[in-house]
């Protein structure tokens, strides 16, 4: 079961609607390519079929994600525990540097935000889940172990 925020659910629903809309366009492309003649050497037909297969795969992935997703309602969560949707300020124990992280179920892929998105399945995300202000969390990263002090939690 995945925990996602209400905004992430809306994003997934918009993605699913777009994929379903694309399905109609892809079917039309296949129909038009089929009308061009010999299918064995028809690159338009084969490309459209590949695109349709990729679209169907993505659609099934999004449908499965939505079906298994549990929506994290921020108003029902304790304010002093890190959970999906929480904004967390962490201080690196060694360097003393502070960064803000947001625990998300689904990354937006944006890098222009004032915080760093971490998914609940990432090393940092799994270490943060359920932690409280003042706790030190240990994170096993590819470049070695890191320890962070939880300075602040907000929703």
- Rounded distance between C-alpha atoms, residue 145 and residue 147, angstroms: 7
Q: Which residues contact 147 (CB under 8 A, 6 or more apart)?
A: 92, 93, 94, 136, 137, 138, 139
150 contact partners, CB below 8 Å, separation of at least 6:
82, 88, 89, 90, 128, 131, 132, 133, 134, 135, 136, 137
- Give pLDDT tens digits for 100-152: 998 888 777 777 888 898 988 889 998 998 899 999 999 998 888 999 999 99
Predicted confidence (pLDDT) per residue in 79-98, tens digit: 778 888 888 999 999 999 99
> Once rounded to an integer, what is the mean pLDDT over residues 29-38?
83
Domains and CATH numbers, the chain: 2-71 (1.10.287.180), 74-154 (3.10.50.30)
Distance CA 74, CA 6 (A): 9
Residue 5 has pLDDT above 80, yes or no: no
pTM (predicted TM-score): 0.63
Alpha helices in 1-153 (DSSP H): 6-34, 43-68, 123-128
Reported as a single tens digit per residue, the pLDDT across 37-79 is: 777 778 888 888 999 999 999 999 999 888 888 787 666 666 7
Residues 12/106, Cβ–Cβ less than 8 Å: yes
Strands 87-92 and 144-154: antiparallel
């Amino acid at each position: 079961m995945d925990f996602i925020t209400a905004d992430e659910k809306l994003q997934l629903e918009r993605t699913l609607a777009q994929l379903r809309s694309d399905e109609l366009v892809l079917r039309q492309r296949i129909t038009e390519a089929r009308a061009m003649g010999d299918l064995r050497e028809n690159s338009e037909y084969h490309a459209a079929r590949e695109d349709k297969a990729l679209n169907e795969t993505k659609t099934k992935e999004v449908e499965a994600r939505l079906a298994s997703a549990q929506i994290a309602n921020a108003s029902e969560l304790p304010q002093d525990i890190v959970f999906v949707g929480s904004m967390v300020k962490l201080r690196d124990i060694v360097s003393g540097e502070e960064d803000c992280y947001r625990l998300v179920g689904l990354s937006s892929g944006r890098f222009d935000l004032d915080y760093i998105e971490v998914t609940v399945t990432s090393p940092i995300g799994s270490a943060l889940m359920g932690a409280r202000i003042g706790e030190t969390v240990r994170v096993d990263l590819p470049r070695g172990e890191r320890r962070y002090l939880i300075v602040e939690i907000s929703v």
